[in-house]
Amino acid sequence: MRTQVAIVGAGPAGLMLAHLLSAEGLDVVVLECQAPHHVQSRIRAGVLEPVTVDIMARLGLDARLRAEGLVEDGFCLADGERLIRIDVAGLTGQTVTVYGQSEIQRDLMAAADARGIDVRWQVKDIVLHDVDSDRPWLTCRLDGHDLQIDADFIVGCDGFHGVARRAIPAAIGTVHERVYPFGWLGILADVPPCHHELIYASHPRGFALASLRSQIRSRYYIDVPTGTRIEDWPDDRLWDELDARLGPHAAAGISRGPAIEKSIAPLRSFVFETMRHGRLLLCGDAAHIVPPTGAKGLNLAASDVYYAADALIGWYARGDGDGIAGYVPRALARVWKAERFSWSLTRLLHRFPEDTSFDRAMQIAELDYIAGSRAAQLTIAENYIGLPL
Ligand code: RFL
Ligand code: PHB
């Protein structure tokens, strides 16, 4: 089988890229190792930057997002006592949209079907070959048969645990990584949110986040030490902890309900510094991970895909390699700034095991400074809204 662009992974990065390229008449094949219902039901991101909303609009896939997404003018930081509101709309003139990643995934999958985009599910044992030549190819197993796909380009959109990044020789890339000593324990429940805007709380007991999916569905997180077992956190214990960490104002609004989903996600900052090797490009979590503080992961996947599509469309339209050569510096410039923002918010809001009373005093002083400084609030707001493409 032959295609122009073979895309590994049908998460948000892979499907957005497939839509962007096929809208320009390019021939693409998407290869996903999981079944559709598995990919569709993963509970992950919730906050979309304007850049991500714009990409969905460019694809003509923003109708449900506009109808059902919640437009948020701001969010709050909490220090255990008070709420410090960051007036994102007032400071930047822009808003974020709360719309679950599972809904984005549903929209992308339904449109891929409707538009005849070739997505192959449950593809096993993908191996990439000759990615630094003019004729990259891959082999895989599909429905019990071996399949070979020859392509002009391969794009790895297969997430942090995928195979594409590993096809790049270690000597060519540099790994920059920080693994945090805690993870986020998240609960999704069909209860009204405690507050109409997100609250990121830094409490002496630890971090907490109050988020939402709709007027009747809430998403909450607390940080827990690495190695924590989910069985040790029955729903009641988790709701009690959220009450304590979010502070009296938010706690007064919390409605409790049974968990629809409960899981622990490890926290990591990671950049694989070369997002391309020859004819292999990496996009999204395949190339970088941010801790979820600041809600940048899905949005970075969207901006990578925007740059990659631009480069590939330019290559086919003009036959020159400038866009391809420029992909890595363009994407990395945005990635590093989002890494910095996510890391600094994580540092501000979480307690690290080695922290002393001095470190806690620094966090309190910084929160107090943010509470009183328009300049500090603007810095946070412009990063939260997402830096321009
Ligand atoms: P994905 O979503 O991991 O998709 C990769 C796809 O590749 C498939 N795959 C393979 N396919 C074929 N062969 C192989 N060998 C393969 N290996 C893997 C996988 O099955 C999968 O379908 O990566 P992508 O597309 O780059 O998207 C990235 C986002 O999913 C991720 O960055 C966000 O979810 C991060 N994130 C958040 N991002 C935001 O922008 N805003 C948020 O509010 C936000 N909250 C979050 C988050 C991530 C979280 N977790 C669970 C890590 C909250 C949480 C709790
Ligand atoms: C979420 O709603 O899942 C969410 C919101 C904000 C974050 C991370 C996750 O920073």
Pocket test for ligand 1, best of 37, 101, 147 (most atoms within 8 A of CB): 101
Same domain, yes or no: 241 and 341:
no
Q: Which ligand is nearest to the CA of 75?
A: 2
Token reading at 253: 């609004």
Residue the block writes with tokens 């490890």: 266
pLDDT at 46 over 90: no
Q: Using CB atoms within 10 A of its CB, is residue 67 exposed (0-12), middle (13-18) or buried (19+)?
A: exposed
What is the average per-residue pLDDT within 243-260? 95
Same domain, yes or no: 27 and 135:
yes
- For residue 9 and ligand 1, the question of a CB distance below 6 A is answered with yes
Report the pLDDT value the prediction gives residue 240, as an integer from 0 to 100.
98
**Is there a domain that residue 19 lies in?**
yes
Do the beta carbons of residue 184 and residue 265 sit within 8 Å?
Answer: yes
What is the average per-residue pLDDT within 131-151? 97
At 358, the amino acid letter reads: F
Token reading at 117: 């985009």
Positive or negative, the CA dihedral 118, 306, 335, 212 is: negative
**Ligand 2, atom 1, residue with closest C-alpha:** 46
- For residue 167 and ligand 1, the question of a CB distance below 6 A is answered with no
For residue 59, how far is the Cα from the chain centroid?
Answer: 19
- For residue 294 and ligand 1, the question of a CB distance below 6 A is answered with no
pLDDT at 137 over 90: yes
Q: What is the mean pLDDT of the chain?
A: 96
Report the pLDDT value the prediction gives residue 202, as an integer from 0 to 100.
96
- For residue 301 and ligand 1, the question of a CB distance below 6 A is answered with yes
**Ligand 2, atom 5, residue with closest C-alpha:** 46
**Ligand 1, atom 41, residue with closest C-alpha:** 295
What is the average per-residue pLDDT within 218-245? 97
Same domain, yes or no: 21 and 115:
yes
**Ligand 2, atom 10, residue with closest C-alpha:** 295
**Ligand 2, atom 6, residue with closest C-alpha:** 295
Q: What is the CATH number of the domain that holds 194?
A: 3.30.9.10
**Ligand 1, atom 22, residue with closest C-alpha:** 11
Q: Give Cβ neighbours of residue 385 (< 8 Å, ≥ 6 apart).
A: 49, 50, 88, 92, 94, 95, 96
Pocket test for ligand 2, best of 88, 199, 219 (most atoms within 8 A of CB): 219
Alpha-carbon distance of 87 to 16, in angstroms, equals 30
pLDDT at 172 over 90: yes
Q: Dump pLDDT digits (tens) for 66-93.
A: 999 999 999 999 987 899 999 999 999 9
What is the average per-residue pLDDT within 344-359? 96
Same domain, yes or no: 47 and 114:
yes
**Ligand 1, atom 26, residue with closest C-alpha:** 284
pLDDT at 61 over 90: yes
pLDDT at 54 over 90: yes
**Is there a domain that residue 308 lies in?**
yes
Same domain, yes or no: 126 and 195:
no
Question: pTM to 2 decimals?
Answer: 0.96
Using the mean position of ligand 2's atoms as its centre, give its distance from the Cα of residue 47 in Å. 6
pLDDT, greater one: 8 or 82: 8
Same domain, yes or no: 173 and 278:
yes
Report the pLDDT value the prediction gives residue 81, as an integer from 0 to 100.
83
For residue 311, how far is the Cα from the chain centroid?
Answer: 22
Residue the block writes with tokens 């079944």: 35
**Is there a domain that residue 107 lies in?**
yes
Report the pLDDT value the prediction gives residue 275, as an integer from 0 to 100.
97
CB environment 27-56: b (16+ within 10 A), e (fewer): ebbbbbbeebeebbeebbbbbbbbbbbebb
What is the average per-residue pLDDT within 118-147? 97
pLDDT at 362 over 90: yes
- pLDDT-based confidence at 243, cuts 50/70/90? very high
Report the pLDDT value the prediction gives residue 44, as an integer from 0 to 100.
84
- For residue 44 and ligand 1, the question of a CB distance below 6 A is answered with yes
Give the percent of the chain with pLDDT over 70.
100
Pocket test for ligand 2, best of 44, 47, 72, 264 (most atoms within 8 A of CB): 47
Same domain, yes or no: 43 and 122:
yes
Report the pLDDT value the prediction gives residue 151, as an integer from 0 to 100.
98
- pLDDT-based confidence at 320, cuts 50/70/90? confident
Token reading at 107: 């929209």
**Is there a domain that residue 198 lies in?**
yes
**Is there a domain that residue 78 lies in?**
no
Alpha-carbon distance of 277 to 304, in angstroms, equals 15
- pLDDT-based confidence at 45, cuts 50/70/90? confident
**Is there a domain that residue 93 lies in?**
no
- For residue 386 and ligand 1, the question of a CB distance below 6 A is answered with no
What is the average per-residue pLDDT within 239-247? 96
Which residues form ligand 2's pocket by a CB distance below 6 Å? 45-47, 198, 211, 219, 292-295
Using the mean position of ligand 1's atoms as its centre, give its distance from the Cα of residue 17 in Å. 14
What is the average per-residue pLDDT within 326-331? 97
pLDDT at 296 over 90: yes
Q: Which ligand is nearest to the CA of 345?
A: 2
pLDDT at 43 over 90: no
User: Which atom belonging to ligand 2 lies closest to the Cα atom of 45?
Assistant: 3
Q: Dump pLDDT digits (tens) for 82-123.
A: 999 999 999 999 999 999 999 999 999 999 999 999 999 999
Counting the structural domains of the chain, the total is: 2
Same domain, yes or no: 366 and 299:
no
pLDDT at 282 over 90: yes
Alpha-carbon distance of 69 to 83, in angstroms, equals 24
**Is there a domain that residue 77 lies in?**
no
What is the average per-residue pLDDT within 122-141? 98
Same domain, yes or no: 329 and 257:
no
Neighbours of 125 (CB within 10 A): 12
Q: What is the extent of the structural domain holding 10? A: 2-69+98-177+268-345
Q: What is the CATH number of the domain that holds 59?
A: 3.50.50.60
User: Which atom belonging to ligand 2 lies closest to the Cα atom of 213?
Assistant: 2
What is the average per-residue pLDDT within 15-28? 98
3-state secondary structure the chain: CEEEEEEECCCHHHHHHHHHHHHCCCCEEEECCCCHHHHHHCCCCCEECHHHHHHHHHCCCCHHHHHHCEEECCEEEECCCCEEEECHHHHHCCCEEECCHHHHHHHHHHHHHHCCCEEECCCEEEEEECCCCCCCEEEEEECCEEEEEEEEEEEECCCCCCCCHHHCCCCCCCEEEEEEEEEEEEEEECCCCCCCCCEEEEECCEEEEEEEEECCEEEEEEEEECCCCHHHCCHHHHHHHHHHHHHHHHHCCCCCCCEEEEEEEEEEEEEECCCEECCEEECHHHCEECCCCCCCHHHHHHHHHHHHHHHHHHHHHHCCCHHHHHHHHHHHHHHHHHHHHHHHHHHHHCCCCCCCHHHHHHHHHHHHHHHHCHHHHHHHHHHHCCCCC
Bridge partner residues of 76 (DSSP): 85, 199
Same domain, yes or no: 186 and 198:
yes
User: Which atom belonging to ligand 1 lies closest to the Cα atom of 299?
Assistant: 40
Nearest Cα residue to 117 out of 3, 223, 258: 3
Same domain, yes or no: 239 and 322:
no
